[in-house]
């Protein structure tokens, strides 16, 4: 007779494998859908599109990384989500002559955005921890988003996007802070995470101004 504990362990492993596969599929499909929505919004008001792209994709990667079963799976599913978004935008760009629908308006912006997305997927996994490392990961996430949005608003910077005004910066920064407060529990962890984000953002700003 087969041991009951062995059967239960086999079922648990099988369910976990199915959940991992489903998570991978949803990450890719979700990226495809978000990219398609972003392509559609590019025909609408510029302020709305400026907030949606790429920060809706960043939020999705945060969710994907946070819900992964392990660090390696967080990296893989984040890559799949990003890949799905890129596929949708590249396909949509075929039908929109003279305007590249990619994650950014130029090579520097695209490279920085991809770096931020890849980093957020891993950092969001560490926000599941209830220690200082979790606080640091949450603060680093918000700080990286602040760096990205400031780079799009600062003239003469490689990632500058014309017309990206202070209201865009305030809205995106507010959303990033709200997400940070949601991910951390307790006053002290939130304050530590906010301090990390502030240090990263201010350091970047001082560096840019110094140039």
pLDDT per residue as tens digits for the range 73-95 = 998 999 899 888 888 888 887 77
Over residues 94-115, the pLDDT tens digits come to 776 555 555 554 555 666 667 7
Comparing 154 with 24, the larger pLDDT belongs to: 24
The lowest-confidence range among 137-151, 160-174, 182-196 is 160-174
The stretch 43-71 carries a mean pLDDT of 85
Residue 29 in this model has a pLDDT that exceeds 70: yes
Query: What spatial distance separates the first Cα and last Cα of the chain, rounded to whole Å?
Result: 74
Q: What is the mean pLDDT of the chain?
A: 82
Residue 120 confidence (pLDDT): 87
Q: What is the pLDDT of residue 189?
A: 93
DSSP of 160-200: --TT--HHHHHHHHHHHHHHHHHHS-SHHHHHHHHHHHHHH
Query: Does position 45 have pLDDT exceeding 60, yes or no?
Result: yes
Average pLDDT over residues 160-164: 70
Give the model's pLDDT for residue 96: 66
98 vs 82: CA distance, rounded Å: 23
- What confidence tier does 52 reach under pLDDT thresholds 50, 70, 90? confident
Residue 62, Cβ density class (10 Å: 0-12 exposed, 13-18 middle, ≥19 buried)? buried
């Amino acid at each position: 007779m087969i041991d009951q504990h062995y059967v239960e362990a086999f079922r648990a492993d099988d369910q976990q494998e199915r959940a991992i596969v489903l998570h991978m599929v949803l990450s890719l499909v979700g990226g495809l859908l978000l990219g398609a929505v972003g392509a559609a919004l590019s025909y609408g008001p510029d302020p709305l599109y400026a907030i949606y792209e790429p920060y809706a994709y960043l939020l999705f990667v945060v969710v994907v990384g946070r819900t992964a079963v392990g660090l390696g799976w967080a990296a893989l599913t984040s890559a799949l989500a990003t890949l799905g978004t890129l596929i949708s935008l590249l396909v949509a760009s075929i039908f929109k002559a003279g305007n590249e629908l990619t994650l950014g308006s130029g090579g520097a912006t695209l490279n920085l955005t991809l770096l931020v997305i890849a980093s957020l997927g891993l950092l969001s996994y560490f926000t599941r921890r209830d220690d200082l490392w979790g606080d640091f990961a949450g603060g680093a996430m918000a700080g990286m988003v602040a760096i990205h949005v400031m780079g799009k608003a600062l003239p003469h910077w490689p990632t500058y996007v014309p017309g990206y005004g202070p209201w865009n910066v305030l809205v995106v920064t507010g959303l990033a802070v709200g997400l940070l407060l949601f991910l951390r529990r307790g006053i002290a962890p939130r304050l530590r995470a906010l301090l990390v984000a502030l240090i990263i953002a201010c350091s970047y700003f001082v560096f840019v101004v110094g140039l």
